[in-house]
Amino acid sequence: MSVTICQSMGFVVSALGIGGIIASTCMDQWSTQDLYNNPVTAVFNYQGLWRTCVRESSGFTECRGYFTILGLPAMFQAVRALMIVGIVLGILGLFVCIFAMKCIRIGTMEDSAKANMTLTSGIMFIIAGLCAITGVSVFANMLVTNFWMSTTSMYQGMQNVQNRYTFGSALFVGWVAGGLALVGGIMMCLACKGMVPEESRYKAVSYNASGRNISYRTGPYKAGSGYEPDTKTRKGPGYEEAPRSEDAGRSYPSKYDYV
C-alpha cells in the first residue's frame, strides 16, 4: 500500500512540476525592468525567452518577438535549449509513468516490468527538473552580471540612463517547478525499489543413504530360458530341509551302455 501511495504522490508532484516548467517557459516575465532610481515610470519593460514587451501607464501592452536566432547571446540560446529538453523529458516521463502505475492493470504486465518503467520515468523527471533549475539559474546569473555592469556605468558619471533588469516572476516559477519535478522523480525511484519482486532463493539439499553405502557393478546381460532352477533357497521359520537320499549322487547307466 505504501508503494502505491509513494508512486501516486510522485506522479502528482512530478505532473505539477512539469506543468510549472511549461508555464515558466511560456511566460514573458523572465526579466523585469528595475524601477529603482528610474525617472521614467510611464513605460515598463519586461522580457521573456521568446519576446520582449512594453507596457504603458495607460494599460496598453505591446510585445515583439525575437526575429533572430544567431543574433541572440549563446547563453540565452542555451537556456532555451535546457527548458525545451526539460519539457520533452517531463512529458515522456508522464506517459511512461501512467502505464507504470501499480493501481492500473494493463494486460498481463508483470510487476518487474512496471518497476523498470517506474524507474525510467523517475530518472526522466529528475533530469527534467535539473534542466529547468540549471536553465533558470543560468538566466539569473546573466541578469545579475548585467545588473551590476549597468549599475557601475550609471555611477561612473555617464549621462545616458540605462535600463536595469531584475528577476521576473517566471524565474521563481521555474525554480519551484524544477524542484517539484526533482522531488517527484526521487519519489518514483523510491517506489521502484518497493515494486521489485523478491527473488526466490532455493537452497540445495543433499540426500544421503541412511544405511551403508552399496556399490553396484554392471556386468554383461545374460539371457535365460526361464526354466533354470532357483539356486537360492529361502530359509525361514518352519522350514525343514528334506533328508538327502543315498541315490542322489548315484549315476545310472543309459541304454547306450549295453550295446
The pLDDT > 70 percentage for the chain reads 66
Q: Is residue 145's pLDDT more than 70?
A: yes
Q: Which long-range CB contacts under 8 A does 223-231 form with residues at least 24 apart?
A: none
In a domain, 44, yes or no: no
In a domain, 91, yes or no: yes
In a domain, 35, yes or no: no
How does DSSP assign 150-207, residue by residue?
Answer: HHHHHTTT-SSPPP-EEE-HHHHHHHHHHHHHHHHHHHHHHHHHHHSPPPP-------
In a domain, 248, yes or no: no
- Residue 162: pLDDT band (50, 70, 90) is low
Q: Tell me what the mean pLDDT of segment 171-196 comes to.
A: 89
Task: Report the domain count for the chain.
Answer: 1
Question: Domain range for residue 15?
Answer: 1-29+68-195
Report d(CA 177, CA 187) in Å as an integer: 15
Report d(CA 103, CA 191) in Å as an integer: 13
In a domain, 12, yes or no: yes
In a domain, 89, yes or no: yes
Which domain CATH number covers 4?
Answer: 1.20.140.150
SS3 category, 52: strand
Q: Tell me what the mean pLDDT of segment 40-50 comes to.
A: 81
Identify which of 75, 27, 64, 69 has the alpha carbon closest to the alpha carbon of residue 49: 27
Report which of residues 207 and 24 the model is more confident about. Answer: 24
In a domain, 214, yes or no: no
Q: Is residue 20's pLDDT more than 80?
A: yes
- Residue 108: pLDDT band (50, 70, 90) is confident
Q: Is residue 239's pLDDT more than 80?
A: no
Other beta carbons within 10 angstroms of residue 30's beta carbon come to 28
Residue 166 near residue 34 (C-beta atoms within 8 A): yes
In a domain, 188, yes or no: yes
Identify which of 102, 99, 97 has the alpha carbon closest to the alpha carbon of residue 1: 102
Highest mean pLDDT among 39-53, 97-111, 202-216: 39-53
Q: Tell me what the mean pLDDT of segment 158-173 comes to.
A: 76
